[in-house]
Amino acid sequence: MNQTEFKNALSKLPLGEVKYFDSIGSTNNEALAWATSGAPDLSIVIADEQTAGRGRLDRKWFTPKGAGLAFSLILHPSVQEKPYLTRTVGLAALAVVDALQARGLIAQVKWPNDVLLNGRKVAGILVESVWSGEEVDCLVIGIGINVLKEAAPSAELLQFPATSLEESLGSDVSPEVILHDILADIIALRPHIGTDSFITFWEKALAFRGEQVQIAEGNGNSSIGKLLGLEPDGSLRLRGEQGNSITVRFGDVRLRPHT
């Protein structure tokens, strides 16, 4: 990672503090610890390699050296934002989709926390909270993006196919510019997180909208239905095969197209 290029690219954004690591276990772990010890709002941890990158439920996220973008952004939610914290994963996903669409790519959100390019996973998002009593004090938005082809793990290690920006854009990808655009989008969208149009915007970005999907839960349950859209809290709305309404809440869920 060329830190100077990153510093230049981010210099005009109203960020808190920025920490760079050539190699780290997990940027989310670093950001969670930093969030509890005084990191200002919009501080960010960026790493060129993660040796213990995490997905949801401690699944692994691969960030081999020099091939991916891995960062964690710390937010201190305002009183106005606190009722809408379950929308944060949407905020992050929309910012990634927007930054990729600005490059002419067709990016979509695979609910709840993946971004797809041409139907394959190019980015994953992990939002974690720091609690103070009953209240969320800080949020950490972790985002991993496969920049070069080497970042995407081989198919036998994955349950869903992966891709990289390089596969769509060739070698002309500047991770620092992508990072700038994602952060600028998060900053611009954040004041709208509580609006109805935020949900509409998020719904429009959903992959498989209007299509039959299968939702597998960690407890072995699974449901099939047509993906309709989102509830106000960001839960997924499906219409079941008997015409029944299904609401899928965040948690241990995996979404797949149903063929």
Task: Using the CB atoms, write b or e for 98-113: b if 16+ within 10 Å.
Answer: bbbeeeeeebbbbbbb
Q: Which of 45, 70, 67, 37 is nearest to 55 (CA)?
A: 70
Q: What is the DSSP string of 200-254?
A: HHHHHTBTTTTSEEEEEETTS-EEEEEEEEE-TTS-EEEEETTS-EEEE-SSSEE
Binding-residue total with ligand BT5 (CB under 6 A): 31
Output DSSP code: residue 84. Answer: G
Residue 70 found at the interface with ligand BT5 (CB under 6 A)? yes
Q: Which of 4, 12, 23 is nearest to 65 (CA)?
A: 23
Residue 110 found at the interface with ligand BT5 (CB under 6 A)? no
CB of 79 to ligand BT5, least distance (A): 27
CB of 184 to ligand BT5, least distance (A): 18
Residue 125 found at the interface with ligand BT5 (CB under 6 A)? yes
In sequence order, what are the beta bridge partners of 253? Answer: 217
Closer residue to ligand BT5, CB minimum distance, 51 or 244: 51
CB atoms near residue 194 (< 10 Å): 15
Residue 56 found at the interface with ligand BT5 (CB under 6 A)? yes
Closer residue to ligand BT5, CB minimum distance, 23 or 78: 23
Residue 28 found at the interface with ligand BT5 (CB under 6 A)? yes
Tokens at 130, concatenated: 């720091």
42 Cβ neighbours under 8 A, 6+ residues apart: 14, 15, 16, 73, 74, 75, 183, 187
Site for ligand BT5 in 209-248 (CB under 6 A): none
Choosing from 54, 180, 190, 226, the residue that interacts with ligand BT5 (CB under 6 A) is: 54
Residue 111 found at the interface with ligand BT5 (CB under 6 A)? no
Choosing from 27, 43, 108, 168, the residue that interacts with ligand BT5 (CB under 6 A) is: 27
Choosing from 43, 46, 53, 84, the residue that interacts with ligand BT5 (CB under 6 A) is: 53
Chain positions contacting ligand BT5, by CB under 6 A: 26-28, 50, 53-56, 59-62, 70-72, 113-114, 121, 124-126, 142-144, 146, 151-153, 158-159, 162
